Structure 1
Amino acid sequence: MENLDQEIDTIYLKYCILYEQAYDQNGDWIPHIREQIITCEQSLQALYEKKFGVSYNDNLAGWLAFWVSLGRKHCK
């Protein structure tokens, strides 16, 4: 389970870094960065399902709590 948590943390941190770089000076999405962000989100969804044994769509409250906990852990 520890490796799974490390993988989640790594992907979440990558997501945060990409998100900070995702917009140009006009406030528009930079397409290739947006694609990488979507990939991170999909990876986190799959890891959530693997860790908790439930689809994030079937447990949106749990998914949101998971997402908030990552933010609290990494964005201090």
Structure 2
Amino acid sequence: MTTLDVREIPPVNRHDRIHEAFHALDPGESLTIVNDHDPQPLYYEMAAEIPEFDEDGYEVEQEGPERFVANLPKEA
């Protein structure tokens, strides 16, 4: 599993960095991101644009007011 904390990345660059990290995964692996807000727009973007994104395995948990941890699995 790869973890990427995007809270310190400028918002305009976050999705590009997440996509790069996701594409570097092997099939069956997951990317965990730590974000300062609910990454629901990212979920919709990935579901629409990335066939390898496992929508059914997606999970997000709010661990604090500005800490959301999302699991973005890549289909095997």
TM-score bracket for the superposition, by shorter chain length: 0.3 to 0.5
Larger radius of gyration: 1
Greater fraction of residues in helix: 1
- Structure 1-normalised TM-score? 0.32
Greater fraction of residues in strand: 2
